[in-house]
Structure 1
Amino acid sequence: MQIEIIKRKTEELDELADKIEELGIKVIKGIPFSHDPLTHVACGDYVWSIPSGEIKKNQRTFIKLYQKWYSISLQLVDEYLNKEREIEFKDIYSDILDYLQPNGREYSTDKNLFIDKFLNKYDIQRGILLSIPDIIEVKEMKLRKLISADFVETELEEAELLFNHEFTRGAGALAGVALEKHLETMCQLNDVSYKPKATIDPLATELYRNNRLDITELKKVQHLASIRNKCDHPEEITKEEVKELIDGAKKFIINH
């Protein structure tokens, strides 16, 4: 749910950025230069004039929209990205305003040079903002993987403990739970759909259909699933089979 909300918000902000960019180009193109050479000073001969009329109106609208975009975007950058990205995002702020409120002396009157500088800076800010949904998704994937790994490790440790104390059937059941949870996490991390409450065999089959397991791996997991099923039902189960299930589950989880 959170990732979808953030995606929508960043998309809305990027649409606003398109308008800001278009308006910024108009403002830079519209502000005239005046020729004012200074013979004894090593600086440009051209001075930005003070905007008026429609250009002044566009400039004020630009500043208002950019301030809105920047303030909202900064909250997202501060919340979801690292400090380096936040600093980079903030550092560009004054550059953007300088390009749209110019008051210095220039060597050239080629407006395309200034437009390119403005766009290059703004593209960096926009890129930082648009990276947020992907960063959140990566963080969530890492968290799911960590939680799953902790759960699986605990289940396998308990399975081995039960096995060592001759609770064979319970040990096999726990090893099966660990393998099932790991397969479920693999599906989630690889965007493989599966039915609710799917067990080992169906999960492995979906992973195989989506090229996440080869046929040899699938058959091995299906064999382990058949042992797990024997543990869950009043069928005869041997210690050797349960040991194979525990060892097989551990090996598969380590390799995947």
Structure 2
Amino acid sequence: MANTFERYKKDIERLASLGGKLALAMQIEADPRTKTVHPFTEEELKNLPNVRSSYQGWYSEALALVSQLIPEREDDFRSYYAPKGTRKDLSYANYTMSDYLRSISATRAGEVIVGPSAANAAMYQQFNIISGLANRFTSSLYDIKALLHADLLDDELHAAEELNKNGFQRGAGAMAGVVLEGHLAAVCDRHKVMLRKKDPAISDLNDALKAASIADVAQWRFIQHLGDLRNKCDHKKAADPTKEEVAELIEGVRKITKTLL
């Protein structure tokens, strides 16, 4: 058991470090002027990995680790690499790492509305899942099983805050929207709320929770408002979401994850 424990511990630490470098490299690629807090030395910054040549190997190892230690997060981890199903269109909310690796963009009237920089959110999510393991790996291998759902969501919202702070408002808002949708789905599942749609959106989940008297009217209206903010981040409109609006969305999602259980 000790040898197994040490092997997992070293793998988690190595993959968390490489994942952080990949996420930072993508952020710098999207905006070379970006400044963010990170644990890397100047030498490490000069030798950040090439994401397109290094990511696939990292993903394969990280996925194997997730499937063994926290299998309940495997589907989430996979979904940041490739979409779960057919997409009607490409948006910040459904842009994945596989899209990034193929440099896929969506344009409208000659204007790029979503492109490789949108994958920052997906990479941050995957990195966050792995670094979350590193932060919680303590005295026993089985402690991994005790990771709290709320803690993981809070970690993901922290990653969204970092994106928002560094100027990636749409990506940060899309990430917060994914957290909100996932939490509402988990609450529906926990209370055995029946859903009419196979792939319900935030509004569908919100309405179902209100109909089942799990969410009160005030919570329902608040989630509606958060959904509107999320949609502003996800859909190209005349006005881009502001940093303040995205911060409001993130904080609102955090509140819902702690009060609607």
TM-score (ref. length: structure 2)? 0.41
Greater share of residues in helix: 1
TM-score (ref. length: structure 1)? 0.42
Which structure has the larger Rg over C-alpha atoms?
1
